Structure 1
Amino acid sequence: MSTIPVMIPWLGEEEALAAAEAVRSGWVAQGPRVAEFERAFAEHLGVPHAVAVSSCTTALHLALIGAGVGPGDEVVVPSFSFVATANAVTYVGAVPVFADVDVTTGNLTAATVEPLLTERTRAVIAVDQGGVPVDLDGLRALVEPRGATVVEDAACAAGSVHRGRPVGGTAALAAYSFHPRKLLTTGEGGMVTCQDGALAARLRRLREHGMSVSAADRHAAKDGAGRLETYDEIGFNYRMTDIQAAIGLVQLRKLPAMVARRRELAERYRELLAGTGGRLVADPAHGSTNYQSCWLLLPDTAPDRGAVLADLADAGVSARRGIMAAHLEAPYQGTARVPLPATELLTGRSLILPLYHALTERQQDRVVGAVRAALG
């Protein structure tokens, strides 16, 4: 009996041909395909500027720099998120301040953030956890009058919708991931989007060691103009390759079909798991999720989650523990300023079910059968 994986990227011959074409072109580093991917992604979101980078973590790092966050500042973040969200805050010398989340969506709310705002708060990182859109409007209304910036961590949310627009479309700064666990993948890679042209230009310089003239522009210059670059601030090597961007362009065209299929499968999970007492993640009132992670909150009567995962593994189902809680990990233990009961409930009692474009109904029936048996 074959094991059903938790995720398989939807990659095929079209992506392989696009990558091969980039290789044959002789331009494999950051170049014209990266610029094309940036334009296409910005158009998809309806934002003026998108800057391709090496990962969502580097996108968050640059976004915080762009927001003016630095040593001595505080940034409110959810603990209920991959540790990179908090780590990006430490990269700029600021302090991550952990807020609790809504137990239904897994996201920050104005009510969970407000008690943690201080005169040192420079930003809030609002995560669209597992693809569930955060209520960005409520957070911005709370935070921006205080002179702070809401940075949207949309790592999981390409294809999700917030109040009729693609997630991140209204954010001052937003960061996206193209890791293989995400719907749209380039293997590794990320994107930071923003509304301000001068800021976008600065982020492009920062991703390339702070160069005043990009390597692509220098190579493209035919008369020698623009070949002498300067380095006016310390930058980073956060570039995306043209090979990755070529794959990303194909993936972006497939994104609507990916979302539609995952939503169809998630709804079928909901129907088949009815009566188990578990609660499957769902759309919030203000938008729709792409179901990047199809997480199930186990009922109180269920066995320990570890035992459930072991039973699923024995049945050939590769599920995963739910989203982590950063404040329980060694680098951040003991730093939470307030209790985080919803975070600890969700991280301790949820698991992620297999969900990907090629999942068949027969495989899904096997998953559901294994879950029902594990729950007793």
Structure 2
Amino acid sequence: MSERINVMLPWLGEEESKALAEVIESGWVAQGPRVARFESEFAAVMQAEHAVAVTSCTTALHLALIVAGIGPGDDVVVPSFSFIATTNVVRYVGANPIFADVDAATGNLTADTIEAVRTPATRAVIAVDQGGVPVDLDAIRAVTDPLGILVLEDAACGAGSTYRGRPVGAGAEIAAWSFHPRKLLTTGEGGMITTSRADWADRARHLREHAMSVSAADRHRSVLPPAEEYVELGYNFRMTDLQAAVGLVQLGRLPAIVTRRREIAGRYQAAIADIPGLRAVADPEYGTSNFQSFWVEVEAGYPTDRDGLLAALAAAGVSARRGIMAAHRQPPYRELARSGCLAVTERLTDHTLILPVYHQLSAADQDRVIAVLRRPAG
């Protein structure tokens, strides 16, 4: 078998190694000055007023719901067509997830799909930029804002994508980001909250550090620190300076990463355009995707089904992945699914797959992938 082609590889190099060494030499490896710098620079790049670094996008979503006041008795509209954390965080705060269907072209919630399931108890919507495809936030907020419904943008996959000429998340009251290795920017694990509200950012910083009355940084600066008080239920959601140092280097790489991924996606799109039965994800008219995930739908007229194509790719040494999961099919949420209400979600989950896209992918390796797409039977 030829050398394996992975579905994703992070782009890491000597700059990240040097940044980590500097942190180790400094003697301060926990949350500290580099986390603060990463927050500031990330906010600037994403055109956000405030940024709060945390341990993952899941904890970012969790804290975002808490600071926004979402809790027991509240309904929160979510896409089933998303990683399960999007739904889990709703239950973390004691609220009720309400599944909405998605648009077939983008894989995202729309104003219409939200309206179809909205209840009198709906107080929030979690709108995902699925696979890096920007969600149409203005259209959704035109419906939700007059009703006082919060829109929390799950931008886990969105760094480097644009919406109406601005970075995704820039138009949201609050958004959550991921730095998992599958994302364009990675810190190993890690996440970020961005928000337009100083009070929400301040409370998120407080809660991520056990809700201590005195921060770790303040205690470190004091020879005899004051006694701390834990004024409410808090969490240990702190990012380390080791992670932030890597994140700062990665943030500087973002334009090059996006450019390269869009080149690879464009080459796939051109190659797939004349293959009957394959439909590739594309930019919506209102924005551009970073193609964090490049997915293809296998339709009628193609020589095999989705799973057959996955098997053919695997036989050629290509590691592809099934499309985005449907959370409503998982055991904790099966009772929430209503028959026929998530038809597009189920179609996309059953008939899409994710192709390899990463910065180091060579033209020759991409040609190997394309060759299988053209002749899945060999």
TM-score between the two structures when normalised by the length of structure 1: 0.97
CA distance in 2, matches of 1:111, 1:253: 37
Q: Structure 1 stretches of 5 or more lacking a match? A: none
Provide the identity percentage: 62
Q: Give matches, 1:235-246, under 5 Å.
A: 235-246=234-245
Aligned to 2:148: 147
C-alpha distance in 2, partners of 1:139/1:217?
A: 41
Q: 2:363 aligns with which of 343, 361, 364?
A: 361
CA contact (8 A) 1:77 1:125 kept: yes
Q: Indicate the residue corresponding to 1:199 in structure 2.
A: 200
Determine the structure 1 residue equivalent to 2:279.
279
For each residue in 1:316-348, what CA deviation from the matched residue of structure 2 results, as whole angstroms up to 9, or x when unmatched? 110000000101111111312461111011110
Match of 1:290 in 2: 290
SS of 1:297's equivalent in the other structure is strand
Per-residue CA shift, 1:26-63, capped at 9, x if unaligned? 11111110000000000111111000000000000001
Partner residue, 1:230:
229
1:114 corresponding residue in structure 2? 115
**Matching of residues 107-256 of structure 1 within 5 Å:** 107-221=108-222, 224=224, 227-256=226-255
Matched residue SS, 1:374: coil
- Are 1:316 and 2:349 an aligned pair? no
Query: Which sections of structure 2, spanning at least 5 residues, go unmatched?
Result: none
What is the Cα deviation at residue 375 of structure 1? 6.7
Deviation at 1:221, TM superposition (A): 3.2
Secondary structure (helix, strand or coil) at the match of 1:247 reads helix
Aligned pairs for 1:80-95 within 5 A: 80-95=81-96
How far does the alpha carbon of each residue in 1:77-119 deviate from its partner, in whole angstroms, 9 at most, with x for none? 0000000000010100111100000000000000000021112
Gap change, CA 1:375 and 1:91, over 3 Å in 2: farther
Task: Report how far residue 193 of structure 1 moved.
Answer: 0.7
Q: CA RMSD in A?
A: 1.2
SS in 2 for 1:333: helix
For 1:181 and 1:273, locate their aligned partners in 2 and report how far apart those are by CA, in whole Å: 24
Aligned length: 374
Is the contact made by 2:298 and 2:305 (CA closer than 8 Å) also made in structure 1? no
Q: Distance in 2 between matches of 1:375 and 1:205?
A: 57
Which amino acid counterpart does residue 150 of structure 1 have in structure 2? V
The aligned amino acid for 1:124 is V
Residue of structure 2 equivalent to 1:329: 330
Question: Distance in 2 between the 1:375 and 1:327 partners?
Answer: 33
Give 1:350 deviation, angstroms. 0.3
Q: Distance in 1 between matches of 2:51 and 2:335?
A: 37
CA distance in 2, matches of 1:275, 1:283: 18
Show CA shifts across 1:157-194 (max 9, x none).
00000111111011101000000000000000000111
Residue in 2 that maps onto 1:344: 346
Which amino acid in the other structure matches residue 293 of structure 2? S
Residue 374 (structure 2) aligns with: 372
Q: Which moved more, 1:118-127 or 1:245-254?
A: 118-127
1:263 counterpart = 2:265: no
What is the CA deviation profile of residues 258-281 of structure 1, one whole-angstrom value per residue up to 9, with x for unaligned ones? 000000110011111222131111
- C-alpha distance in 1 between matches for 2:261 and 2:375: 24
The residue identity in structure 2 corresponding to 1:305 is: R
Residue identity in the other structure for 1:263: R
CA distance in 2 between partners of 1:236 and 1:250 (Å)? 27
For the 8 Å contact 2:71–2:95, the answer to whether it is kept is yes
CA contact (8 A) 1:67 1:123 kept: no
The 1-side partners of 2:274 and 2:286 are apart by 27
- Alpha-carbon separation, structure 2, partners of 1:291 and 1:27: 36
Contact residue 317 and residue 370 of structure 1 kept, 8 A: no
What's the TM-score once normalised by structure 2's chain length? 0.97
Write the distance in 1 (CA, Å) between the matches of 2:23 and 2:226: 24
Structure 2 Cα separation of the partners of residues 154 and 227 of structure 1: 38
Q: 2: distance between equivalents of 1:67 and 1:300?
A: 45
Structure 2 letter corresponding to 1:281: V
Structure 2 letter corresponding to 1:301: G
